[in-house]
Structure formats: structure tokens, C-alpha cells
Structure 1
Amino acid sequence: MDDKQTFRDEDFSPGCSSVHRKRSEPEPSCVSMKSDESMDHPLHFKSEDTQTDLSYEFHNKFRSNLMKKFQCLYEGTANQGNPTLLNEIYTELYITESESGEISNEHEVRQIERQSRRAATEDIPIKCNDIFRPLPGHDKPIRTVLTKGVAGIGKTVSVQKFILDWAEGKENQHVQLIFPLPFREINLMKDKTLRLSDLLHVFFPETKEMEISSDKYKVLFIFDGLDECRLSLDFQSDVRLCDVSESASVDMLLTNLIVGNLLPSALIWITSRPAAADLVPSECAHRVTEVRGFNDPQKEEYFRKRISDQSLANTIITHLKSSRSLYIMCHIPVFCWISATVLEKMLSEAESGEIPKTLTQMYTHFLILQTNIKHEKDYEKNVTDEQLVKGNVIFYEEDLRECGIDVTEASVYSGLCTQIFREEFGWYQEKVFCFVHLSVQEHLAALYVHLSCTNNNMNVFDQITKKNLRPKVKEWYRDNSSEHVSLSALHQRAVDEALQSKNGHLDLFLRFLLGLSVEQADLTAIKETVEYIKMQIRTIDSPEKSINLFDCLNELGDHSLVEEIQQYLKSGRIKEAKLSSSQWSAVVFVLLTSEKKLDKFDINDFVRRNNKTEKLKVLQKLLPVIKESRSVRLRDCGVTDEGFAALASALRSNPEHLRVLSLSGNKIGKSVNLLSDVLQNPHCKLEELR
């Protein structure tokens, strides 16, 4: 579909309202969007007072306003200082079509690590400017697009680039008006009752001279940041809003826009972190795309654009490649910016000290560069302590008051540390505060918990628990507060809390917390924590949870289990060895963090051919590896119904990846129904089944 392809109202849901002029005015002399001719003509609007044709003036003003707002990129900083022109630094992101129904409960860093192994699949990449264009061979028009992606992966910058290219007249010229309405700003209107045009007048004052309709002008609404939405979006409501002149609550306006009752031919683009993507029913999205961040060539392109000294850029790229965990994190553009900020300064100025090799070291150096701890520590401790537990990633003035923060001082603090916590003014001109990335909030939370223990003899987890206790129990805690809190005891409590988390939201926080003890060089605490983590790896049933514990061991500088397994794999002796539960967990970690792509999994590479009992046990242990493999061979495993259920669950979570599945020598029985469900998945791309 090129920029001149037309859209018809009947291609979408049946409409109840139309884009129309104010009734007291004559019809404008413009050509309908149903005609190709309209693409080459400017819009025509008339002022109610003067009846003057404002088409050229209005359109230029509207585009110019969007261009001014979106032409600059503030990488992690507030809207002050020296911004960078977006077109100078923008690097195309890896975007693909995605399965709509799958919502991951893993920590987003884990999702990034998993996606890093899928970059070489046969997925067809979609350019940002093409998200409303059907793939070749697909003719059905796309009205609503839902774009998923973890925090910092580039969703908002993609939106920014899309709008800028449109405003500059480069792309998507079949769209005549774009209305960007970020949820973090719409939240400020959540208690209002108004018409759609009134809502637009608030954010786009120039539209007061016109009234939107949808059968004449192709308009696009962009709702960025669904995960930040604090509205009650009820898509099951029986209330239908079809008249643009009718007043309603903001949440009702939005749901009816998205469903298609209101302005049915308007295009809708919604972005969201994966955990909140299911807030929009799958039937309401004609296309679901996923922003996967930078692939490996795009990472290098970013650093070469970001750093003018190409020799220094090469040195930084080489250093990041030397640490697998850091290089994987570079799929996230925000982490590329953090790494560039730290490494450019450290390597160009030949500063003393070790160049960061772990996530904790990288973030610690970043915060040292950007903040003055003595000025902001009281402020940050409150924000990170309470709000991370609540899951808040953006903060309004009432959130800051809840934390005991003087709202009048928030601007001062955001000025001191604009690189990590910033104050923003949007279209609505109300203040919104946020960290540049959730990982910064997690690092500061870990720093607060660590310092509370080492400086104030306080276990923050106990403080959180006490808030929900009966008064008499609180008194007992107060009377026994003089008891010494050891760092290793704090670490063990943090490990337990992270393992109990259903969605892994404390995983990265735990890695930071443990890494900070290494900075302090508390060898006793480190040794005791390492042993506790290894004990947990031996006892927990979840291979996925053990992966994060290996990352924690890496932060603590302990590589013994991993190095042992690497030797088994390199020598080919793994089939001969009788591995413990923790060693099999190490096998999973090594394989999933290897630079080699997981193209083929054969159970006979790990277990002797005639040992069915051991094969079944190993199969259960290596399910996370099977999930990421394109060819899976499980010959003569003696798989039970329970084993098939686990296998089917693993395959169902990533159906588009698998190409070859061999189950020769297994009695499938009733489990064939589970396998059949996997094969019938429309996203399944299996080519060979034995």
C-alpha cells in the first residue's frame, strides 16, 4: 500500500458519526478521502467568524507545531539543555508482527534476553512508517495497531519519528491529521466529562477553529503508553457512544474510539509494555506489532551515530561485546544511551578504576556521573522505596505527596538529576515526573535498601511487612529493633522475596542489590549469599527462576558452576556425567546466554540413547532451551502425559519459532490432543513432524 492508497469507511466497523463542519457553515470545497484526487490537495477549513479559507494556513500551523515538539530527542534528559535532532541520531528499530494473545509474566529484562536469541528468525521486519500498511499478499486495511515492547525499547521514539516524518511531508501523507495523546497526559483529564472536540481543544488549541469528522478527513489518534493509563477502560460496557457532539467521560471517549463506535474510519495506534497489552481486547486490534529494540548491526550503528570519535566508538562496542550480559541489554536503546554516557567518559578521559563489566557496575557509574548523592538521597529513597513496590513508573504530584516529598522541591531535584528523574510538561501543561527507565528506579531502590542496612541497621523488607501488622506486633518489632541486621540476612530475604514474585518484578532489583555488596567488598556476606543462592538453585523447581539466580551469581563474581558446565559441554563429556539439579540449571543458563543460536536441540546430545528415565528427567530440566530451539528431537524419551503437557506448554509459548519436531519412539496416547492444539495455532510454522 503506497501513501496514496485510499481507505473506505465500510472497510472498518460501521460508523455512527461523521467528520463534519459546524452546522452554521457551508460545506468546504474539499475532495472526499474516498477519492485519490484528495491526496494531492490541501485541507480546507473555514473560520466561523470570517468564513475565510484557512486550509493552507491551518495545515501548515498544525504540522509546524508537531514538528517543533517532535524534532528533538532528549535522551534521558528533561526538556532542557542541548537536545539532539532526532533525524541525526535515529536508528531504525527491529519491529515485527506479533502474536496478540501472549502476555509474559517475566521481568522485562528476561524478555529482552529471550528476544535477543530470536533476531535471526524468519520474522518479517516492519518499518515504523509502514505499521498501517498490510504485508504483501494481505489486502485487508488496518485500522487499529497495538505495538508492544518493554520499557525503554523505543516505542515512544518510534511514535516521535512517525509523527516527525509525517509533519515534514515525507511519509504517510494519506493521513491528514495526527493527534498524539499520551496516556500519561490523558490521565490528568480522567475526571472530566466533555466532547471529543473539547478534549482535542485542550491538547491542540488550534483545532478550535474546526470540528472533526471522519468521512472527509483521514485522522490518526496515537495513544502512547497504555501501561501508564490510570483510566478505567471498560471494553465490555454496553454503552455505545456514536455522536461526536455528545459529552462523555474521557475513558468512555477513548474506549469508543478504539472499538470503532466513534469516528469508525479514524486510524488508532496504541503502544504498551507487554504486561498491560491485554487491556485492549484482541478483537479490537487489526495488527499487533512488537518492538524488539536494536538487533546487533543496529546496536553498532547507534554507537557510531552517538559518538563522534569513531575509534572510541569501536572501543566501546568491543568492550560491550566482551560482556554477554551487557551486550544483550544493548537491545534496549535506553541502555545503549546509559552505556555510551558512562563508557565515553571513562574511556576518553582515561579515568582510574575498572571499566564496568556487570549491570550493577554500569548503573553505579552512571549514577555517580549524573547525581550529587548528598543532595538527592532523601528525595530518591522515598520515591524508590514506596513506588517500586506499588509498581508505579510515572508520578504525579499526588504520588509525590504520598511519599512525603515536597512538591515545590521536586523541580529542584529533577534539575539536579535530570538524567535519571525528570519533570515533563506535555500538551496539557501539567507536571509529570518519571525515571528515564524502570531499571534506574530499580537500581536506586536497591541502593536505598543496601544503605538502609549498612548505615541504619534496617531491613527494608521488615519495614514494609510492619505496615500491614497489628499494633501489638508492631510494638514487638519496635522493642527488638536494636538487633543487628546482617547484610547476608538481608540478601537471603531479598532472594526469597524475588523467588516468591509471580511476575519476576524484583529480579533486576535483586541483581543490583547483590552487586552493590561487591562494590563494598564485604567478603563474608558475599560468600554466605553465594552459598544460599546455590542452595536455592538446587531446590527450586522452576528453570526460569534459576536463570535469574545465575545472573545474581555473576553479579557476585562467582562463575564456578557455569565454568564447570562449560567444560562438560566443550569436551562432550556431558552425556557421561551424572549432573545434579543445580548443574542442569547451569546447563540451561549457559545455553541460553551463549552467543550461538539455538537452532537444534537433540536430547541424545545430553543423555545416553538407551536411558529413557534420565531422558525424561533432563527433558523437564531443559524445557527453557527447547522453547528457544528451531529443531527439537526427542527420540525414545518415554514421555508421559505429564511430560507432554509440559512440552506442549513450552511449545505453545513460542509457536512461531519451531520448524522441526521429532517425537519418534514415544507413546503419545491421549496427549495427542495437547500436541494438536499447538499445531492448530495460527502462528505455528512447523514444517516437519515425526
Structure 2
Amino acid sequence: MERLIERLGGGAPRQSRAPRQSTKQAASGSRGDLLKHLTEKTSRFLQQLSAYSDASLRLIWEYVRDDLNYILENMDTENFLNELQSQNVLNTDKYQPIKMKLGYSFFTKMILEDLMELGREAVIGFWECLCWLQNDCPHPNFSATVEEITQTGNRTFLEVQILLDEHGHSLTPELTDIQGKHKQHLLEKTQTLEEHTPPGSTLKKQSFPINEHYVNMIVVSTSQFRRRLQNELIATGVKHEEYLRETQTQFECISLNRLFRWSHESKCVPHAVMVSGVPGIGKTTLMQKFVYDWVTGKLYQRFSFVFCFRFRDLNKLAEVSLEDVILQQYSYLESQLENILQHPQKLLFIFDGLDESAYQMDFRSSKLCTNQKWSEKVGVIVVSLVRQSLLKGCSVLITSRPARLNLIDTGVFQRITELMGFRFEDRQVYFDNFFDNKELSIQTFQYVQENDSLYTFCYIPSYCWIICTVLSMCFKAQPANHKQLMSTLPKTMTQLFVAFVANILKNHNHGEDGTQDSSRELLKSMGVMAEHGIMNHITVFDQRDLKTFSIRIIQYLFSCFLMESGQPPDVDYTFLHLTLQEFFAALVHFIDYNPEKLRESLQHAESYEDGRCEIFVRFLCGLSDISTRSLLKSHVAEMSVQASIHVITWLNEKIALQHGPDKQKISQTELLNLFYCLHESRNKILASKCTGLNKEIYFSGFHLTPLDCSVLSFILESSKETEKVNLETCTIQDEGLRKLLTALNNVKYLSLRGNELKPTCCIHLASGIRNNRTLRTLDLSHNDLDGPHFSDLMKALATSRLEELYLKNTKLKETSCVHLATGIMGNQTLRKLDLSNNNLKGPHFTNLMAALSSPRCKIREVQ
């Protein structure tokens, strides 16, 4: 028994930093003692702040307010409030309830405002507390703020820069006049956001004031795109929640007013900035908001002139000079252009959509332009601006999809950022803006939250539009019959796009030329063009493409699926979203089935290693389900059953390769992609066949997102044969765990070791164990289970049929002994229990020992 006690209670207690003395009570009784414990950079920062006047402190405070908000939102607020209270900086009693009631954003905003009102001593005290709490592991935004203040020179220089961003340069009367005209021109271009209108309401686009309807999006400093080989939407869509968690500790969050401020990564004030983001994420809208804020005086008045261009427009230009490029879009600048270009440091050039450029950009090229009057290819001019051989001192901002950035040398950019799209609260705001009816907005958003396939992609604004459009039609069509409505709502991505297209066709078929034949012919032609684009990385089409693929521009229906830009004869066309293009590419095979063509398409899709066809294949599998494609039947007549059989046969062959005598071992990524295809197909027989022979699902060491877990849940529910599920070190979180545990009805062995599960997961684990009568072995080792909900898990253990339970290194403390005792005394089947590497010593340890020694305890092996 002594050895058992030593093993269970002998773990070293976790180290925790004792509360520090107040700066006034520190060893020497002075602020200097605090500075000794901080990094040299942080100490220098505090000393520099102390030298500022009250007016300068306020100026700095307002300048970095966005960063302070973000840092505080991602801190342990309890520690932060305790620190402020202990240092007599602020009485914090009222703030915790405010955070609980009104949320982090309001909470941090209120604290910062109150501190500023209290004056100099409170502001300096706040910075001291923040420096102390950030000393061991500083947030990137904190590091950037400290560096910006200490590295950009003396305080006079920094104040001049801040004031310059607020008020701008002094200009001659002539330049002031032409700047006013330029700003008015850009204001008219940027002051409204335009949205396509849901089919059936009006043929006109909706317009909203950008200052009222713009929804904030996260921009982070990162080079993640370098490691992406999959389809862009998959690569970020299913990892979005993971990336958002990482922004809290790993990535610097870049607000618009930080794009051209000190870069923590490159250690300089950048003059060339890249903003990347997947299709539809809002890069163009972000640039529109940037320009609007500059025009209205809210942002970067250090730039006297901002020039904004789209690469798709520049594609039409042959060899031109920089002056020609500017005047072609801003002809009214001609009289003053030479004067404008004489001061490059006052200029910003924005180029939107590098991925749509026809020019191959070699940012390391030795061929550069050095004179704004020389004619060169547009690509050379852009590279020369970035490289500073042309208009040395100017600033350049470029946007691109991540895939294009893999093909260029981005080392010439001093800041590379990624647009991450909507956070949770931003998605809710978007839904509220979309729907006039608050109740309908809540109802729709609730449904999306409960549907992983839809919710995962809701971080992309254009996806939000598609989802809102479809669901608004569904809810309005059947407002009363809730049960019938819920059964018809889309549950997979394929069903969403089927419903989207069906709603448009339904409305169109009431129009003057709305026949099945015309709709079918247009969908067929667009599908062929769409697939050609997917296979060849083409997303922008022109009049020649429409002619090549025999696409008739049927006014309303055509414009519901394709967006056009430019003026005749130079008009370009893109699908509303890349994923809509992929859907049409798959749909055409069911409208116009050709076995040879489908076979060839599947072969090509499998041969591309960059993942360009993954969603296309998933749509093929989704359309193989007759109930999914039935919505389109009344609009395009019969769809091919043979195509469905063809796809199902292909899936069968993929499954057979894993189990036959010549079975091929596929990677976890390939297996998960196959599971996604089965999930879209809704084919439970095939899903059962996929896992049935092995009786095991193994994804150890493979990151699984909540959407991945939802797909696995479908596979497990479909298969009655799976007995063993190994999900060790898969970084599964609460949401994913909840979805998995509902589908473990036949599983006997489950390992969730090393998933960084938090104490709140005990609630889901308890529910999963309580409802499961087959589970015999559960391994939860190397997770953090200690907390108030551990008792729920132990109560569930008491009524379960578990035979082996592994809780090694789960950070349990002696307070957990009471709950462990309850579980052990109630359980009649447990034979093996591993509690090693926990700190169970303390007054309640006797409860655990008594339970283990009781005749009612069936455990034979304890570690």
C-alpha cells in the first residue's frame, strides 16, 4: 500500500509564480527593482514612457489603442485585474461582472477609457502591470508595440509620425485642390458596399453605406500559405478555428492602421505589404474600406495620394509607363501628376488581385524600371515599385490568393499578412445585417451553428451570402411547418449549392425565357467551362471563353451565377465564388453524362497533387445521392442515374483498394478525403463498407478539426463493425469531441491521449460514457481534466461498463480524490486504473485509498 500511495501521490506539484510584491513594496522600494526583472527592451520602453508629457502619453495611448484592446481580449483577465488591483492602479471590482454580461470587447474598451480618465499615474501603472504580465511570454502585438515605441527613434520623431498620420503633409494650393478632386472621386467609388440580391426579390444589386455595414475581419501576420498544398478553401476552411486560436499567442493581429507601421517580424517600418486570402474572403472589400478610411481622414494621412488598381484591368495594357497607368484611371490628375510624383514618400499604390494577373511577377528580377515615363510591361512596373527602383520611398500594398504566392519570391515584402475572415461574433453581425427580421436572423444563424458543414465555411463573407440566400428562401417558403422545414434544409455542402441553384432556377422559370431547355443548356455550357477552369487553374474568363463554350448570356439567369467587370469589349467574368465554379463542374456530368469524359475527369482529379479538384470530387459524390439532386429535377428535367452509378462504382473501387489482396496503404489525408466524399454522398452502406473490414479507425497524430470530427461521426454512425478508435494527439477540442461521442455506440476501445482536452470536456465525456453500453477501454491520459466538471465524468464512470481507464498525467490534484472514490465505488466492471503522474497527495487522498481498499472495488491493477 505504501508503494501505491507513493506512486499515486508522489507527483511533483505544478509550479506557479507567487504573486509579486507591488512595485512600491519591492526589495529596494523603487520602480527600478521592477525594471531589473524585465527584459532590457521592456525596461527601456517603460523608461521612455515615463519621460513623455501627459499630452504625449495620451497621443501614444490613442495610437496603440487597437493593439491594447486585442492584447487584453486575449489575456487571462483575472490575472490582469488582480495585478491592477494589487498595484493600486485601478479598483477593479466592477469590471468582472461587466465582462460576463457585455463581453470582452466592451470590457476592455471600458477599462482603457477609465484608465485614461484617471490620468498619468494610472496610465504608467497600467503599462507596468502589462509589461510584468507579458514578461515571460509576450503577445506579438505587445512586442510590436514595445518595439515601435523604442525602435523608431526619439519620442519627437514618433509623435511627428503619429500627427502626420492624423493630419497629413502640407501641400501647395494646386496640390491641395487636385487632392480634393481625387478624394471625391475615390469616395464615390468606395462609400457603398454592393451585394447581390437574393433571387426572387429584385433584379438590382443592394447597396449599403460602407461605414455602417462593413464587418471587421481578422488580419494576421503570417507566412502560412507557404505550407499549403491542398485546395485553398479546404486548407483554411477546416482549420479556421485552429488558426483563430493561434492568433491569440502566435500571430500578430494587424488592424488596418498597423499595415504600414512597425513590423515585429521584419524589424522595420514596411514600404511593401502583401495581404493574402482565399477566394471570397474579402480582400477587395478590405481594400475598399482602407481607401474609404483614407479618403475620410481616418487612416494614413501621411499618404497625400493613394492610387488603387485591379490586376484584371491592368491585363489589358501592353507596354506602358507608370504615368500612363495612373492617367488611364485618374485622367483628372494630368496637370499635376509630375508634381505629385516628385514626392514618392507621400504615395501609396494598391494593386488588388495578383492571382488574376496575366503577368508572371519575378520580384527578384534584374530587369527593373527606374523612370516613371519609360514604357514597360505592367509586371515590370509593379515589381520596380516594390523593389524601390521606381519612385524610391513610395509604399505598395498588394492582395493575392495564397496559391499564387507559392509561385513567387515574397522575401521583398516587409510585411506579409493573411485575411482570416469573420470571427464568431462577426458572423452573427453579418446575419443580422443580411436579414431585416431579427427573429429570422437568429433562427437562421442557430441552424447554421448546429450544422458543421455550413458553419465551418461561414468565416468567408461570400459563403455567408450564399448560406443566407438559401436559408432565407427555405424559411420564407415554409414558415409555419417547422418539422417539415427542418427535414428539407441543406445539411451538406452539396445540398447547399443544389438548393442555391434550385432557388435561382425556380425564380427564373417564371421569367420570359425560363424554360427547362434554356436552363439546362446554360448549366451545361457553364459546367463545361467551369471544369476546364478547375483543371487548368483558370478563374477569370472573357468573351472568347463564352464563345468557345457556347454560353448564351441570358440576362437574369446568367448574372445570377457569373459576375462581370470591365467595359465592352474588355469584359471579364468570374463565378460568384470559386466553390460555385467547382459545383457547376461536377453538375455538368449529371446533366450531360459521358462515361469517357467522367472517367477522364476522375483520373485527372486524382493526378493533381495540389488539391485543386478535391471539392469538385466531393460535389460529384454528393450529387450521386438521388435525394440531394432531386431538388433540381423540376428545373432541368431528368439527371443521369448512370452518372450516379459511375461515381458510386468509383467510390467502391477506392474502398476496395484498402481491403483487397492487393490493398494499397493510403495516407491519413487521403483516407479523410475519402470519408468526406462518403459524407457528401450520404451513402451509409459504402461508409460501413469502408471501415467494416478493418474494424478500426486510426488517426493518431493527425490534426482533426470540428468538421473532421463531424465527418468521422457520420462514418462511425454508418458502420456497426468499428470496434477500435485511436485518436491520440489529434488536437481535438470541445466541439469536435461532442460530435464524436454521440457516434460511439459500437466502439469498444477509444483513445484520446494527448489531445490537450480541457476540464470542460469532462461534460461531453460523461455524456458519451453514460449513453454507451459497449465501451470497455478509455484512455484519457495526457489531458487536463482537473476542475469542477471532473465530478461529472466520475459519476458517469460509476454507471458505465468500462473495464480499463487510463488517467495518466491528467493534472489531477488531491481535490479530485473524492470524485475518483465515487466513481470507483459505484463501478462494478472496472479492472484496471492508471492514475500515475498526478499530484493526489493531501487530506482527501484517504478517500481514494479507502475506495480502492473496499470489498466493493473490482479493480485488480492500479498504476
Normalised by the shorter chain, which TM-score bucket? 0.5 to 0.7
- Which structure carries more helix by proportion? 2
Partner of 2:656: 535
Compute the displacement of 1:398 (Å).
Answer: 3.1
Q: Does 1:97 align with 2:221?
A: yes
Q: Does 1:88 align with 2:212?
A: yes
Compute the displacement of 1:627 (Å).
Answer: 13
How far does the alpha carbon of each residue in 1:407-426 deviate from its partner, in whole angstroms, 9 at most, with x for none?
xx54x44x433232021137
Q: Does 1:394 align with 2:515?
A: no
Higher relative contact order (CA 8 A, sep 6+): 1
Which segment is superposed worse, 92-101 or 173-182?
A: 92-101
Unaligned runs of 5+ in 1: 6-10, 13-32, 46-52, 466-492, 567-577, 607-624, 636-661, 663-690
2:244 counterpart letter in structure 1 = A
1:460 counterpart letter in structure 2 = K
Which of 433, 442, 451 is matched with 2:582 structurally?
442
Compute the displacement of 1:161 (Å).
Answer: 1.0
Q: Does 1:207 align with 2:348?
A: no
> In the aligned structure 2, how far is the partner of 1:89 from the partner of 1:549?
40
1:444 counterpart letter in structure 2 = F
Is the 8 Å Cα contact of residues 134 and 141 (structure 1) preserved in structure 2?
A: yes
Is the 8 Å Cα contact of residues 321 and 372 (structure 2) preserved in structure 1?
A: yes
> In the aligned structure 2, how far is the partner of 1:259 from the partner of 1:324?
44
How far does the alpha carbon of each residue in 1:237-263 deviate from its partner, in whole angstroms, 9 at most, with x for none?
322322222222222111111211111
Partner of 2:374: 246
Compute the displacement of 1:75 (Å).
Answer: 2.8
Partner of 1:383: 529
Q: Does 1:71 align with 2:185?
A: no
> In the aligned structure 1, how far is the partner of 2:474 from the partner of 2:220?
36
Which of 503, 513, 525 is matched with 2:610 structurally?
503
CA change 1:216–1:253 in 2 (3 A) is closer
> In the aligned structure 1, how far is the partner of 2:731 from the partner of 2:258?
43
Identity %: 23
Q: Which TM-score applies when normalising by structure 1?
A: 0.68
How far does the alpha carbon of each residue in 1:87-116 deviate from its partner, in whole angstroms, 9 at most, with x for none?
332211121110277241101222121233
Is the 8 Å Cα contact of residues 368 and 383 (structure 2) preserved in structure 1?
A: no
Which of 283, 293, 301 is matched with 1:155 structurally?
283
Q: Which TM-score applies when normalising by structure 2?
A: 0.55
2:545 counterpart letter in structure 1 = D
Which of 490, 513, 522 is matched with 1:356 structurally?
490
> In the aligned structure 1, how far is the partner of 2:255 from the partner of 2:569?
32
How far does the alpha carbon of each residue in 1:58-98 deviate from its partner, in whole angstroms, 9 at most, with x for none?
22221111111122222357995332333332211121110
1:205 counterpart letter in structure 2 = S
Compute the displacement of 1:561 (Å).
Answer: 9.2
Compute the displacement of 1:544 (Å).
Answer: 1.5
Is the 8 Å Cα contact of residues 238 and 705 (structure 2) preserved in structure 1?
A: no
1:195 counterpart letter in structure 2 = S
2:398 counterpart letter in structure 1 = I
Partner of 1:368: 502
Q: Does 1:460 align with 2:600?
A: no
> In the aligned structure 2, how far is the partner of 1:44 from the partner of 1:325?
54
Compute the displacement of 1:233 (Å).
Answer: 2.1
Alignment of 1:120-139 (within 5 A): 120-121=245-246, 122=249, 123-134=251-262
Compute the displacement of 1:603 (Å).
Answer: 6.0
Compute the displacement of 1:594 (Å).
Answer: 5.9
Compute the displacement of 1:156 (Å).
Answer: 1.2
Compute the displacement of 1:228 (Å).
Answer: 0.9
SS of residue in 2 equivalent to 1:180:
strand
SS of residue in 1 equivalent to 2:459:
coil
Which of 93, 97, 114 is matched with 2:239 structurally?
114
The structure whose Rg is larger is: 2
How far does the alpha carbon of each residue in 1:260-300 deviate from its partner, in whole angstroms, 9 at most, with x for none?
11112111111111111134423211011111111222222
Alignment of 1:185-264 (within 5 A): 185-189=313-317, 192-210=318-336, 211=338, 212-213=340-341, 215=343, 218-264=346-392
Partner of 1:343: 471
Is the 8 Å Cα contact of residues 213 and 263 (structure 1) preserved in structure 2?
A: yes
SS of residue in 2 equivalent to 1:118:
helix
Which segment is superposed worse, 357-366 or 216-225?
A: 216-225
Q: Does 1:545 align with 2:682?
A: no
> In the aligned structure 2, how far is the partner of 1:296 from the partner of 1:439?
22
> In the aligned structure 2, how far is the partner of 1:254 from the partner of 1:309?
46
Partner of 1:483: none
CA change 1:147–1:553 in 2 (3 A) is same
Q: Does 1:583 align with 2:711?
A: no
> In the aligned structure 2, how far is the partner of 1:424 from the partner of 1:586?
48
Q: Does 1:593 align with 2:593?
A: no
> In the aligned structure 1, how far is the partner of 2:218 from the partner of 2:171?
38
Is the 8 Å Cα contact of residues 43 and 59 (structure 1) preserved in structure 2?
A: no
Compute the displacement of 1:439 (Å).
Answer: 0.4
> In the aligned structure 2, how far is the partner of 1:391 from the partner of 1:604?
32
Is the 8 Å Cα contact of residues 271 and 394 (structure 2) preserved in structure 1?
A: yes
CA change 1:390–1:498 in 2 (3 A) is closer
Is the 8 Å Cα contact of residues 311 and 352 (structure 2) preserved in structure 1?
A: yes
CA change 1:136–1:393 in 2 (3 A) is closer
Compute the displacement of 1:175 (Å).
Answer: 1.7
Compute the displacement of 1:396 (Å).
Answer: 2.2
How far does the alpha carbon of each residue in 1:596-625 deviate from its partner, in whole angstroms, 9 at most, with x for none?
9xxx9856999xxxxxxxxxxxxxxxxxx9
> In the aligned structure 1, how far is the partner of 2:489 from the partner of 2:677?
19
> In the aligned structure 2, how far is the partner of 1:579 from the partner of 1:605?
27
CA change 1:557–1:219 in 2 (3 A) is same
Partner of 2:431: 303
> In the aligned structure 2, how far is the partner of 1:125 from the partner of 1:584?
36
CA change 1:368–1:626 in 2 (3 A) is farther
How far does the alpha carbon of each residue in 1:40-61 deviate from its partner, in whole angstroms, 9 at most, with x for none?
467646xxxxxxx433432222
Compute the displacement of 1:222 (Å).
Answer: 1.0
> In the aligned structure 1, how far is the partner of 2:208 from the partner of 2:387?
37
> In the aligned structure 1, how far is the partner of 2:753 from the partner of 2:324?
53
Is the 8 Å Cα contact of residues 149 and 272 (structure 1) preserved in structure 2?
A: yes
Which segment is superposed worse, 583-592 or 153-162?
A: 583-592
> In the aligned structure 2, how far is the partner of 1:334 from the partner of 1:281?
29
- Count of residue pairs brought into register by the alignment: 530
How far does the alpha carbon of each residue in 1:15-38 deviate from its partner, in whole angstroms, 9 at most, with x for none?
xxxxxxxxxxxxxxxxxx999679
Compute the displacement of 1:505 (Å).
Answer: 0.9
Q: Does 1:176 align with 2:304?
A: yes
CA change 1:323–1:530 in 2 (3 A) is farther
Partner of 2:679: 554
> In the aligned structure 2, how far is the partner of 1:398 from the partner of 1:526?
32
How far does the alpha carbon of each residue in 1:106-157 deviate from its partner, in whole angstroms, 9 at most, with x for none?
0122212123323122233222342222267986211111111111111111
Is the 8 Å Cα contact of residues 266 and 415 (structure 2) preserved in structure 1?
A: no
> In the aligned structure 2, how far is the partner of 1:548 from the partner of 1:534?
12
Is the 8 Å Cα contact of residues 526 and 556 (structure 1) preserved in structure 2?
A: no
Compute the displacement of 1:535 (Å).
Answer: 3.2
> In the aligned structure 1, how far is the partner of 2:669 from the partner of 2:382?
37
CA change 1:562–1:516 in 2 (3 A) is closer
How far does the alpha carbon of each residue in 1:457-514 deviate from its partner, in whole angstroms, 9 at most, with x for none?
544245xx6xxxxxxxxxxxxxxxxxxxxxxxxxxx73x5433221111111111112
SS of residue in 2 equivalent to 1:270:
strand
1:241 counterpart letter in structure 2 = C
> In the aligned structure 1, how far is the partner of 2:288 from the partner of 2:670?
36
1:499 counterpart letter in structure 2 = E
> In the aligned structure 1, how far is the partner of 2:681 from the partner of 2:165?
64
